[in-house]
Structure 1
Amino acid sequence: MKRKIFIPFLAISMLFGSCFEDLDDNIQQASNIDIQNFIYRGLNYYYLYKADTPELANDAFSSQDELDGFLKKYDSPESLFDYLKSPQDRFSNLYSDFRVIEDALSGISLSNGMAFGLVYYPDKSDNIFGYVRYVLPNTDAATQGLKRGDIFTTIDGQQMTRANYSDLLAANSYTIGFATYDGVNFTPTGETALLNKIQYTENPVYKVKTFDINGEKIGYLMYNAFIKDYDEALNDAFAQLKAEGATNLVLDLRYNGGGAVETATDLASMITGQFNGKVFYKQYWNEDRQAENARDGLFDASISSGAPINSLNLSNVYVLTTKRTASASELIINGLNPYINTIQVGDTTTGKFQASFLLYDAPAPVFSRQEANPTHYYAMLPLVFKTANVAGNTDFVDGLFPQINLKEDYFNLGQLGDENEPLLAAALFEIAGKPMPLHTNFKVLKEVSDSNVDSPINEKMIGN
């Protein structure tokens, strides 16, 4: 069986969402035990780490009544799900409203346009400052003139701390207070910006350009999520790079937390093109599903729409990474590494090599949206298989390590796509010998969180 995940979820959610809403007043809502039976069935069937939880064994319960007795020990679907998860599982999730993740899979979320990171103060207090990573077009952040590198320390006049930052930033509308940092102290500037979240569809193809440095044509692509709805935009970006004569590529995945495996396979084929039909990645499922479900992911020649892939046929690629680089982004690095010279520039990645797909409360083996139980909105995104490259490399729980180790300096970020931006400059030096700007007084600080943390697809790899 081959599951095609990452279908056009927006249209389907609109169609079936209306059906669910129409039925809400006419049928009884699902009980906890109904939802918990769904959770158990789905994990018993597909969960990658099924063997780690004795209660998920096929012979763990002799009857439905015995299983129900076990399930009733847990007071909520969430507590049951947490119990059944393996200790080695950092990434499986249960959602009480699958409409939220369906929107996220199509690139739709509530956003004020400010992509940010949150970092502890250098004085080792519980105080936190935020820094702007980039700004999305046609949002409040863009209208207010925010730019990469802006520092903010307060939300609605309150200093951000470990105890309050999550609640402060969860509001749909808030005012950030800007500050400067002199190497010792943060000083409020007195300037503020009111930011309102709206439903926003983000194009993950953020920046595309080609440099001409010392006779080398070097393409640059900043790509922020593997969203299948934007496969054509990604393919168009490679058409542009190809037309501009790029013979090298810097692929900026520093904030890319993952997405669709199929899109990652297409991206790898856009970078190369000379390995069509060869193994890009291998799949490893649980013992019950391996023989039936495992399929090799192959380099291919067309995107999901059927359009031919615009391939650069490169033998070198430079990938910019941070600790926020995860899942499908790591698949690109790991999958390409046996075939071409894949140079990682930046920081160690997250360490996510497992894939998931969305399970609804519906009959096995498909657990499909079309057959979903209409009395609740619960769905799961459990880990179902792990990936390995053609050489067998997998289980990189500590992340993928860069050949050129360089962390971002929150107080000297540079501008994305600019030749002097530190991570890009390091890659350009390796490719074409372009002198790198000097950076002094660099502080290595602890990052707490970021604007992606609440996204239901952050650090997810959606498989097929």
Structure 2
Amino acid sequence: MNRSFTSVALRVVLISTFCSSVFVSCRKDSKSGTDTTGGTGTTTTAVTDEDSLKYLMYHTMQVSYVDGGRSTTTSLPTYYWYSQVPTLDPVNSTYATADALLEVMKTYSKGTGTTALDRYSFLDRTGSLSSALQDGVSEVNKKISATGSLGMEVSYASDGNKTYLYILYADKNSPAGLQGLTRGDEITAINGDTAISYDGSTGAHTTKVVNAIYNSSSVTLKVTKGYTKAVNTYTVNAGTYNINPVLFDTLYTIGGQKTGYFVFYTFTSTINTKGAYTNTKTILDNLFGKFKSEGVTNLIVDLRYNGGGSVATAEYLDSAIAPASAASKAMYYYLYNDKLTANMNEAGLEASVNYPSNTGGLALSNVFFITSKNTASASELTLNNLKPYMSVKLVGDSTYGKPVGFITFTINKYDSTHTEKYLADLYAINFATQNANHVGGYYSGIAPDQQAYDYINVPWGNSNDNNLEYIFNYISNGSFARSAARIAAASTLNLRASIPTSIASPRFNGMVDYRLGKRLKN
């Protein structure tokens, strides 16, 4: 499959570097930011890095990726909603930063209504996201002195009377995971401080928790373990680690039917920056090999905390889950802006991606996805692509709503000494997707077939998980309905439901296909 749309990223990396060299070495008109020397580079008046970034970002999105946006004969803007953005002066002092300019541009991304659709585009000024998604190495938090992170996420929960702080999950390979911290563990003190009850998303207690977990290089936690209720103290130091996207997996026999279950928290790529297979692919190969050898006829994919990532991994999962009847048929379609669509051959674009000919390794009666407001982008792409070919059921909450994707444009410049300098990676929406039935556009999210609570004091895979309980009922009885006895029994379990908006996830939310940069059509 030639997915060559984002292949223009490689060309932009190279051309934008040259363009920035010309732009920075030439005199800039103080009002318009245009080159007043005809591109000869004969003057040496420098502009700031931020002006260079604003200029290159705007022209890549709104004018053309060809010649870094300086071509007078080619019009190939890359922003999906470019035609709705008015002509702006990117280096005008009105925009203090490139981020501020991007926020203004996003407001023009209107659909049929008056609300802007683009709540996604952003600049990554560290470059760590690309490494994390492609090579599977944890991101570096530039807010702290140490590299890496603790490798876990937390959230508040409520039993209807009181709030509690819980670990949502921890990567098995992370500093937190290596100490055995996991979902269902309650945090009762942070650095000896017990004043950590929920006081609103911007409250003093909540802010203290966010800074300790996400913005510090070391933290000491007092924890009540979910399984044993044992109380232990852990000191966790931030570090880098090889991401393991599978948090938990197991097999069930339900009503005589073999059922596989796994929790997948990020779409790290199956192919790295050198084109080699990654640890993520090895992990998934082993997992699906086990499911196949066990003869599973139902599969549960838990994406409740998965904000997306690599399109390559979404395609892997779809190919592993879909029935043999989908082989060689359309998996999904790309939608681009009108200029790119009209020049698909020249830009190296493809209109669709097909399932491979060897699709159908599992013979499933149903696939169930556990979803939440945090289920986004590549996660939504995965489940949407399967709907035309098999029984797909969603349990949990509506998904985030992101039927669009990124290519990456690495923006560099040369300074006055001709030294190359990295400025940022641009993630601006470049395409939308639709499944084989041309269904897409789910900006408000995809609704579940069965609403369920996320009780975060229940460990992974436990039958008291409200989502699993509904799914088990469906596999056994063909209906999500729970018995009165089961409902009564659940009321005695002191279940604590997640407060989804209590602490925002710091992780990336989106879908990117990095491979396309290697398939540029010249």
Same fold by TM-score, threshold 0.5 exceeded? Answer: yes
Deviation at 1:245, TM superposition (A): 0.8
How far, CA to CA, are the matches of 1:443 and 1:112 in structure 2? 24
Name the structure 1 match of 2:356: 300
Q: Do the aligned partners of 1:133 and 1:149 also contact (CA within 8 Å) in 2?
A: yes
The amino acid of 2:167's aligned partner reads V
SS for the counterpart of 1:199 is coil
Name the structure 2 match of 1:237: 287
Deviations 1:349-391 (A, max 9, x none): 111111112111279xxxxxxxxx9222311111111111222
The TM-score with structure 1 as length reference comes to 0.77
How far, CA to CA, are the matches of 2:48 and 2:317 in structure 1? 41
Matches within 5 A, 1:242-253: 242-253=292-303
Call closer, same or farther: CA 1:444–1:137 in 2, change over 3 Å. closer
Percent of aligned pairs sharing the same letter: 26
Matches within 5 A, 1:27-426: 31-44=49-62, 45-55=77-87, 67=89, 70-86=91-107, 87-109=116-138, 110-119=148-157, 129-142=164-177, 144-158=179-193, 159-160=195-196, 161-169=205-213, 170-178=215-223, 192-228=233-269, 229=278, 230-272=280-322, 273-291=324-342, 292=344, 293-301=349-357, 311-361=361-411, 374-411=420-457, 413=458, 415-426=459-470
Structure 2 unaligned runs (5+)?
11-45, 63-76, 108-115, 139-147, 197-204, 270-277, 414-418, 517-522
How far, CA to CA, are the matches of 1:173 and 1:448 in structure 2? 25
Q: Do the aligned partners of 1:29 and 1:375 also contact (CA within 8 Å) in 2?
A: no
How far, CA to CA, are the matches of 1:36 and 1:416 in structure 2? 45
Deviations 1:217-246 (A, max 9, x none): 112222222212312321332111111111
Query: Which residue, 465, 474, 489 being the options, matches 1:430?
Result: 474
How far, CA to CA, are the matches of 1:89 and 1:118 in structure 2? 28
How far, CA to CA, are the matches of 1:29 and 1:140 in structure 2? 43
The amino acid of 1:33's aligned partner reads D
Call closer, same or farther: CA 1:213–1:442 in 2, change over 3 Å. closer
Deviation at 1:114, TM superposition (A): 2.9
Call closer, same or farther: CA 1:130–1:105 in 2, change over 3 Å. farther
SS for the counterpart of 1:345 is strand
Call closer, same or farther: CA 1:172–1:195 in 2, change over 3 Å. same
Q: Alignment length, in residue pairs?
A: 405
Q: Do the aligned partners of 1:122 and 1:445 also contact (CA within 8 Å) in 2?
A: no
How far, CA to CA, are the matches of 2:374 and 2:363 in structure 1? 28
Q: Do the aligned partners of 2:395 and 2:448 also contact (CA within 8 Å) in 1?
A: yes
Deviations 1:120-144 (A, max 9, x none): 89669xxx74311233335443454
Q: Do the aligned partners of 1:355 and 1:383 also contact (CA within 8 Å) in 2?
A: yes
SS for the counterpart of 2:422 is coil
Deviation at 1:339, TM superposition (A): 1.6
Bigger Rg, which one: 2
Call closer, same or farther: CA 1:315–1:454 in 2, change over 3 Å. same
Deviations 1:236-286 (A, max 9, x none): 321111111111111111221111122212211111232122122221112
Q: Do the aligned partners of 2:377 and 2:403 also contact (CA within 8 Å) in 1?
A: yes
Deviations 1:29-64 (A, max 9, x none): 9622211111112211211122332126xxxxxxxx
Is residue 446 of structure 1 aligned with residue 499 of structure 2?
yes
SS for the counterpart of 2:384 is helix
Deviations 1:189-220 (A, max 9, x none): 98532211110111113333332233211122
How far, CA to CA, are the matches of 2:339 and 2:288 in structure 1? 40
How far, CA to CA, are the matches of 1:442 and 1:196 in structure 2? 31
How far, CA to CA, are the matches of 1:180 and 1:262 in structure 2? 36
Deviations 1:151-189 (A, max 9, x none): 2254324434244333333101112344799xxxxxxx9
Q: Do the aligned partners of 2:251 and 2:260 also contact (CA within 8 Å) in 1?
A: yes
SS for the counterpart of 1:331 is helix
After the TM superposition, which of the residue ranges 156-165 and 44-53 deviates more from structure 2? 156-165
Call closer, same or farther: CA 1:120–1:210 in 2, change over 3 Å. closer
SS for the counterpart of 1:211 is strand
The amino acid of 1:231's aligned partner reads K
SS for the counterpart of 2:438 is coil
How far, CA to CA, are the matches of 1:246 and 1:5 in structure 2? 36
Q: Do the aligned partners of 2:305 and 2:372 also contact (CA within 8 Å) in 1?
A: yes
How far, CA to CA, are the matches of 1:171 and 1:401 in structure 2? 36
Q: Do the aligned partners of 2:318 and 2:386 also contact (CA within 8 Å) in 1?
A: yes
How far, CA to CA, are the matches of 2:467 and 2:282 in structure 1? 27
Q: Do the aligned partners of 2:173 and 2:244 also contact (CA within 8 Å) in 1?
A: no
How far, CA to CA, are the matches of 1:346 and 1:382 in structure 2? 30
Deviation at 1:329, TM superposition (A): 0.9
Structure 1 unaligned runs (5+)?
10-27, 57-66, 182-188, 302-307, 364-372
Deviation at 1:149, TM superposition (A): 1.2
Call closer, same or farther: CA 1:449–1:234 in 2, change over 3 Å. farther
SS for the counterpart of 1:34 is helix
How far, CA to CA, are the matches of 2:300 and 2:183 in structure 1? 20
